[in-house]
């Protein structure tokens, strides 16, 4: 950020309010998401602040942020209850009154009307905005956002629910920022999402291509067996920034090869879904230790119904036998967590579904169920495609949730490589 700052990137602060944040019930994913977006837009994110739901402290934070930064994004506190105080705190910080916005009220009434429900009276409070604020419509929920000037700063307030904050920032705030901040430094950023290599190996392979304090700037992020390499380029013009970025991406893709499954924070499930839809392939899944996570990840993708025939979570051995035709003798002989049973699950799944491809997972997620021979974290994934079944074994670290999360991604990646012919 030192460099970006040198280039005159406007300073931005993120102020999030909510007892659930201040008390640590939830981690501040909004600040993280907003910071990535703001940085990609050429802002210099200098500070996140979290405060509980109290009027004066929140108003004081907004004032302080508006003195220190040219852009302040607020999240949370726009709900209908008495501890939703962002509207009033922002009004105090700006020295404005609250006035009920007819447009905001109409939007809230429409929200309830669409659901055939009367609007509870206290939801009307959500339409009280600081005088002179610009209404930011909420396409998803009831809480309208707003933007207003506080001193020399531009302040935008968004709801705390990520599924509402994200589309509102992209559709309502970004256009305003482009107009209000025409002279941001030219930047260009891309992320390459990889799976199958440890972070240290990704780092080693990219060493000659980009570095943490070069241009482009390299940073690595790790989640659920996925290593994402972020390239952040700066230039005098957008064209120059994009040229700097391209000059690194080509070599990076070459050294990372088939381990790259996507870009800009995709999940392996997104890549597999896109691959299936693009090639018009159908898939059936058989899960054991991942318990439905693979189906859940794939069905986050709109339109996946064209590809996903079924996902059978055969948690009990009888279900493996009855639903997938796995031989009970095989389970007795090899154990439910074995390469042979994984293969039989994939084959049984494809036989029953008639899908073009099938994917199966069996393993020990823990904390119980491990043995010396078959420890917690032992996972077998099997993919069947074009008449051939391939099985991979993994020994995954971490607790039950981590083993399930990684097993699901590594299983999807195994299928991805089979379909790509890798």
- For position 208 contacting a copy of itself by CB under 8 A, the verdict is no
- For position 6 contacting a copy of itself by CB under 8 A, the verdict is no
User: By C-beta, is 63 or 148 nearer to a copy of itself?
Assistant: 63
Cβ at position 53, least distance to a copy of itself in Å: 7
User: By C-beta, is 148 or 217 nearer to a copy of itself?
Assistant: 217
Contact 378, 363 (CB under 8 A): yes
- For position 212 contacting a copy of itself by CB under 8 A, the verdict is yes
Angle in degrees, 0-180, between the axes of helices 317-324 and 339-353, rounded to the nearest 10: 40
- For position 298 contacting a copy of itself by CB under 8 A, the verdict is yes
User: By C-beta, is 211 or 237 nearer to a copy of itself?
Assistant: 211
- For position 313 contacting a copy of itself by CB under 8 A, the verdict is yes
- For position 163 contacting a copy of itself by CB under 8 A, the verdict is yes
Q: Which stretch binds a copy of itself (CB under 8 A): 98-106, 211-219, 238-246, 247-255?
A: 211-219
**Three-state DSSP state, 49:** strand
Cβ at position 392, least distance to a copy of itself in Å: 15
DSSP structural state of residue 259: G
- For position 141 contacting a copy of itself by CB under 8 A, the verdict is yes
Q: Could you say which residues in the range 399-418 bind a copy of itself, by CB under 8 A?
A: 399-402, 404
The residue within the footprint of a copy of itself, chosen from 171, 200, 237, 371 (CB under 8 A), is 200
Q: How many residues form the binding site for a copy of itself (CB under 8 A)?
A: 110
Q: Which stretch binds a copy of itself (CB under 8 A): 86-94, 100-108, 315-323, 383-391?
A: 315-323
- For position 214 contacting a copy of itself by CB under 8 A, the verdict is no
- For position 19 contacting a copy of itself by CB under 8 A, the verdict is yes
**Residues with Cβ within 8 Å of residue 264, at least 6 apart in sequence:** 190, 191, 193
Cβ at position 421, least distance to a copy of itself in Å: 26
- For position 34 contacting a copy of itself by CB under 8 A, the verdict is yes
- For position 397 contacting a copy of itself by CB under 8 A, the verdict is yes
User: By C-beta, is 148 or 311 nearer to a copy of itself?
Assistant: 311
- For position 24 contacting a copy of itself by CB under 8 A, the verdict is yes
Cβ at position 181, least distance to a copy of itself in Å: 18
Angle in degrees, 0-180, between the axes of helices 400-420 and 268-278, rounded to the nearest 10: 30
Angstrom distance (rounded) from CA 122 to CA 80: 6
- For position 372 contacting a copy of itself by CB under 8 A, the verdict is no
Q: Could you say which residues in the range 232-291 bind a copy of itself, by CB under 8 A?
A: 265, 285, 287, 289-291
The residue within the footprint of a copy of itself, chosen from 176, 215, 247, 299 (CB under 8 A), is 299
Angstrom distance (rounded) from CA 345 to CA 340: 9
The residue within the footprint of a copy of itself, chosen from 99, 105, 135, 140 (CB under 8 A), is 140
**Is residue 47 packed enough to be buried (19+ CB in 10 Å), middle (13-18) or exposed (0-12)?**
middle
Angstrom distance (rounded) from CA 53 to CA 252: 45
Helices (H), 23-70: 29-40, 55-68
Angstrom distance (rounded) from CA 9 to CA 221: 24
Contact 28, 45 (CB under 8 A): no
Task: Please report the beta strands in 132-225, taking only residues with DSSP state E, as ranges in sequence order.
Answer: 134-136, 145-150, 153-158, 186-195, 217-223
Q: Could you say which residues in the range 61-90 bind a copy of itself, by CB under 8 A?
A: 61, 79-83
Angstrom distance (rounded) from CA 329 to CA 313: 20
- For position 338 contacting a copy of itself by CB under 8 A, the verdict is no
Helices (H), 123-267: 162-168, 174-180, 199-206, 238-256
Cβ at position 298, least distance to a copy of itself in Å: 7
- For position 120 contacting a copy of itself by CB under 8 A, the verdict is yes
Angstrom distance (rounded) from CA 9 to CA 115: 44
Angstrom distance (rounded) from CA 403 to CA 391: 18
- For position 387 contacting a copy of itself by CB under 8 A, the verdict is no
- For position 370 contacting a copy of itself by CB under 8 A, the verdict is no
Q: Could you say which residues in the range 170-199 bind a copy of itself, by CB under 8 A?
A: 198-199
Angstrom distance (rounded) from CA 229 to CA 291: 30
**Three-state DSSP state, 415:** helix
The residue within the footprint of a copy of itself, chosen from 8, 26, 95, 118 (CB under 8 A), is 26
Angstrom distance (rounded) from CA 89 to CA 85: 6
Angstrom distance (rounded) from CA 289 to CA 5: 48
């Amino acid at each position: 950020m030192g460099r970006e700052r040198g280039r005159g990137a406007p300073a931005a602060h993120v102020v999030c309010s909510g007892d659930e944040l201040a008390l640590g019930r939830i981690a501040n994913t909004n600040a993280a998401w907003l910071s990535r977006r703001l940085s990609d837009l050429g802002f210099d994110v200098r500070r996140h602040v979290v405060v509980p739901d109290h009027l004066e402290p929140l108003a004081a934070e907004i004032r302080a942020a508006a003195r220190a930064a040219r852009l302040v994004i607020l999240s949370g506190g726009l709900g209908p209850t008495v501890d939703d105080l962002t509207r009033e705190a922002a009004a105090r910080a700006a020295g404005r009154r609250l006035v009920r916005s007819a447009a905001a009220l109409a939007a809230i009434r429409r929200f309830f009307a669409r659901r055939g429900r009367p609007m509870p009276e206290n939801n009307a409070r959500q339409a009280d905005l600081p005088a002179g604020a610009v209404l930011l419509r909420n396409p998803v929920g009831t809480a309208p956002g707003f933007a207003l000037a506080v001193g020399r700063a531009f302040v935008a307030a968004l709801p705390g629910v990520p599924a509402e904050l994200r589309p509102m920032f992209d559709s309502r705030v970004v256009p305003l920022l482009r107009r209000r901040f025409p002279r941001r430094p030219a930047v260009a950023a891309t992320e390459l999402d990889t799976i199958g290599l440890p972070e240290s190996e990704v780092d080693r392979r990219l060493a000659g291509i980009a570095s943490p304090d070069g241009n482009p700037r390299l940073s690595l992020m790790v989640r659920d067996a996925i290593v994402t390499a972020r390239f952040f380029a700066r230039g005098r013009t957008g064209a120059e920034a994009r040229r700097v970025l391209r000059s690194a991406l080509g070599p990076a893709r070459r050294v990372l090869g088939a381990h790259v499954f996507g870009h800009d924070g995709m999940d392996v499930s997104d890549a597999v879904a896109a691959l299936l839809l693009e090639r018009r392939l159908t898939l059936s899944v058989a899960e054991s230790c991942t318990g439905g996570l693979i189906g859940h990840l794939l069905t986050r993708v709109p339109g996946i119904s064209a590809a996903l025939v079924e996902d059978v979570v055969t948690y009990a051995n009888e279900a493996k036998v009855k639903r997938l035709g796995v031989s009970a003798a095989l389970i007795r002989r090899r154990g439910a967590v074995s390469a042979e049973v994984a293969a039989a699950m994939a084959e049984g799944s494809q036989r029953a579904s008639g899908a073009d491809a099938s994917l199966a997972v069996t393993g020990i997620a823990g904390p119980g169920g491990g043995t010396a021979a078959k420890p917690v974290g032992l996972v077998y994934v099997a993919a069947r495609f074009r008449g051939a079944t391939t099985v991979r074994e993994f020994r995954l670290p971490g607790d039950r949730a981590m083993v399930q999360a990684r097993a699901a991604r590594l299983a999807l990646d195994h299928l991805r490589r089979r379909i790509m012919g890798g």
